[in-house]
Amino acid sequence: MTITMTMNGEDLTVEAATLADLLALRLDDPRPHGVAVAVNEEVVPRGDWSRRPLADGDVVEVVTAVQGG
């Protein structure tokens, strides 16, 4: 299924039925350590990535810890 959505501020058209599909396409490591994901400002727990369907217009944020004060 092709959807048009936004990941980390970038507009994308991708073949992804679930959040896990998207992460497998876009990340070096589809099950990365220390990473969290939100869809439309709701955190999706790691265990739910493969069950979370994606739809046109979804806004996905993928974050990790970086240096900070």
Contact residues for other proteins (CB under 8 A)? 8-9, 26-29, 32-38, 41, 43, 45-46, 61-69
CB of 3 to other proteins, least distance (A): 18
Q: In this structure, which long-range contacts are made by residues 40-45, counting pairs with CB atoms below 8 Å and at least 24 apart in sequence?
A: 44/19
CB of 12 to other proteins, least distance (A): 11
Containing 5, the helix (H) or strand (E) segment is strand 2-7
In whole angstroms, the minimum distance from the beta carbon of 5 to other proteins comes to: 15
Contacts of 11 (CB under 8 A, 6+ apart): 4, 5
Residue 2 or 69 having the CB closest to other proteins: 69
